[in-house]
Amino acid sequence: MCPGSFDPVTLGHLDVVRRARRLYDEVVVAVLVNPNKTGLFTPQERVELLESELADLDGVSVLTFEAQLLVDVCRSTGAGAIVKGLRGETDYSYELPMAVMNRHLADVETLFLPSDPQYAQVSSSLIKEVARFGGDISPFVSPAVAAALRARFGDPH
């Protein structure tokens, strides 16, 4: 299980999913729908972008979830582990208590994968901000995601 908001999906996200797939026969990418946030892309758009980007990988599926615990999603899909990509100490400090709680609630282990160094400072929020003002995001997202961002924001110049 690889959970996240994926708004927008970055090459760092895709790297973690691909690496998780090398470790597990099946990977479920779980797109969080947070009712307290308005995403740039709808949950369905995020799913479609992820499915398109991961179409070459057998054994990977994408779903959305909201208003439930991640461990409940793990139970319903049969996932025995959660895979999280970590960019640094801040991510670790945020993710560790959740990993401990998930293990307590459902005996689900969390595997932390360190980010590839080329993506370690990249976040979806940063990508959105740069794209909003017409900056070059091509090193950090796929061409399809870059096109979707340009379409969403238009040409700022």
Domains of the chain: 2-148 (3.40.50.620)
pTM: 0.93
Question: What confidence tens digit (pLDDT) does each residue in 8-33 have?
Answer: 999 999 999 999 999 999 999 999 99
Question: What confidence tens digit (pLDDT) does each residue in 58-91 have?
Answer: 999 999 999 899 999 999 999 999 999 999 999 9
Residues designated as active site: 13, 37, 87, 124
Q: What is the per-residue pLDDT for 37?
A: 81
- CA 18 → CA 28, 82, 98, distances in Å? 11, 14, 23
Q: What is the per-residue pLDDT for 34?
A: 85
Burial of 12 (C-beta count, 10 Å sphere; 0-12/13-18/19+): buried
Residue 34 vs residue 10, higher pLDDT: 10
Torsion angle, CA of 140/83/104/89, rounded to 10 degrees?
Answer: -40
Section 111-127 average pLDDT: 95
Q: What is the per-residue pLDDT for 155?
A: 65
Binding site for ATP: what residues are annotated?
A: 5-6, 13, 85-87, 95, 119-125
Peptide linkage before 8 cis (omega within 30 of 0): yes
Binding site: what residues are annotated?
A: 5-6, 13, 37, 70, 84-87, 95, 119-125
